[in-house]
């Protein structure tokens, strides 16, 4: 059985361009970039610092407006929506992880997760608690649920941040350099968690990272340099198979 969603890209950026500044200080960061992301896959976006990775991720995830081009997400034109519609879209479908952990100092690991459900979906206290505990269990943090960020290690904090991104079971998960502040062991754990979000939950995961060691943990690698994508490596059997299937149709 081939799921239709595996054949059409869940997220598709077409001819995306973006520049910053005006007049003489104007710098173009993205030149006509097109990219497709598939559900159930984890894609790694690599490239030197300043090459435009974060900008591309922001545009694909509905945080930053492109100058031109379109983003189709689950069949919707993301940048044709109103701000409010896009906000609702992100609420229903998008999870985010950033380099800093960005956790509230005053709240426990469990509360950081509950907050998203209570404020985002209006979930009841009981339901939010149950789901937060489930998620922390999955992240290997069951025993740390009551701890605040200052009592957690960097890797643990980033896992809480992943929990916060995944707790609403989003279709998309965007991670901008989630491992840069971590040692390799903790970074590996983080990548594994993101990978299982794609493989076990069918999420579409886009990760920006530097470390080449990550490559073997992902389904697909996209390289970026000076605002252009220049290569797409597909190093697992799944992708070619999908392409063959597509052609067969």
Partner 1 sequence: MASYSLTTLWYERQRYVPGVLAVAFSALLIALQVGLLLGLFSITSIPIDHTKADVWMGAPEVSSVDLGRPIPEGRLARMAYLSEIKRCEIYLQGFAFWSKPNNGGSELCMVIGSHLSPDSLGKIKELTPEQCGLLAEEGTVIIDKSDEKKLGVEIEKKAEISGYPVRVVSTTHGLPSLAGPYVLCSIATARKCLPVWKDNTTTYVLGQCRNRQDAPKVVKQLNQYKDVLAFTQDEFSKRTRLHWLLRTKAGIALGYAAALGLLVGAVVTSQTLYAATVASLREYAVLRALGIPRWRIAFMVVSQSFWIGIIGIALALPAAYGLAWAVEYFIRVAIVALPWWLLSAAAAVTLAMALVSGLFALRSLRQIEPAMLLR
Binding site for ligand ADP (CB under 6 A): 20-21, 29, 47, 49-55
Q: Which of 96, 145, 159, 193 binds partner 1 (CB under 8 A)?
A: 96
160, 196, 192, 175: which is closest to 97 by C-alpha? 175
Q: Quote the DSSP letter at residue 214.
A: G
**Residue 168, contacted partner among Mg ion, ligand ADP, partner 1, none, CB below 5-8 A by kind:** partner 1
Nearest approach in angstroms of CB 51 to ligand ADP is: 4
User: Which phi and psi angles does 74 have, rounded to 5°?
Assistant: 50, 35
**Residue 51, contacted partner among Mg ion, ligand ADP, partner 1, none, CB below 5-8 A by kind:** ligand ADP
Cβ proximity to Mg ion: between 79 and 174 the closer is 174
Cα 162 to the chain's mean position, in Å? 10
Q: Which of 116, 191, 209, 218 binds partner 1 (CB under 8 A)?
A: 116
Q: What separation in angstroms does the CA of 240 have from each of 45, 102, 220, 237?
A: 19, 38, 11, 6
Order across the sheet with 76-77: list the strands. Answer: 27-37, 11-20, 68-73, 76-77
* 31, two tokens: 């030149």
Count of residues binding partner 1 (CB under 8 A)?
Answer: 37
Cβ proximity to ligand ADP: between 65 and 146 the closer is 65
172, 174, 171, 190: which is closest to 182 by C-alpha? 190
* 34, two tokens: 């097109």
Query: Please, is 70 exposed, middle or buried when counting C-beta atoms within 10 Å of its C-beta (0-12, 13-18, 19+)?
Result: middle
Cβ proximity to partner 1: between 56 and 186 the closer is 56
Q: Which of 67, 77, 80, 104 binds partner 1 (CB under 8 A)?
A: 104
- Residue in the shown chain whose Cβ atom is closest to ligand ADP: 54
Site string for Mg ion, 22-61 (x = CB under 5 A): --------------------------------x-------
Contact between 81 and partner 1 by CB under 8 A: the answer reads no
Cβ proximity to Mg ion: between 57 and 128 the closer is 57
Contact between 27 and partner 1 by CB under 8 A: the answer reads no
């Amino acid at each position: 059985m081939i799921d239709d969603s595996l054949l059409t890209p869940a997220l598709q950026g077409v001819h995306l361009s973006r520049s910053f500044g005006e007049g003489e200080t104007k710098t173009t960061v993205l030149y006509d970039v097109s990219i497709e992301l598939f559900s159930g896959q984890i894609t790694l976006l690599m490239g030197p610092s300043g090459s435009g990775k974060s900008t591309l991720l922001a545009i694909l995830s509905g945080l930053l407006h492109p100058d031109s081009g379109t983003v189709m997400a689950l069949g919707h034109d993301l940048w044709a929506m109103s701000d409010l519609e896009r906000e609702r879209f992100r609420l229903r479908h998008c999870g985010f992880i950033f380099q800093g952990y960005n956790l509230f100092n005053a709240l426990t690991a469990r509360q950081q997760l509950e907050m998203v459900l209570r404020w985002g979906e209006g979930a009841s206290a009981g339901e939010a608690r149950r789901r937060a505990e489930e998620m922390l269990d999955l992240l290997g943090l069951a025993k740390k649920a009551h701890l605040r960020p200052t009592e957690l290690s960097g890797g643990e904090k980033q896992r809480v941040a992943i929990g916060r991104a995944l707790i609403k079971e989003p279709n998309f998960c965007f991670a901008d350099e989630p491992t840069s502040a971590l040692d390799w062991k903790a970074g590996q754990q983080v990548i594994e968690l993101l990978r299982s979000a794609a493989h076990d939950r069918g999420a579409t995961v886009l990760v920006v990272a530097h470390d080449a060691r990550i490559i073997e943990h992902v389904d697909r690698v996209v390289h970026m340099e000076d605002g252009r994508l220049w290569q797409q490596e597909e190093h697992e059997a799944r992708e070619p198979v999908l392409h063959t299937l597509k052609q067969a149709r």
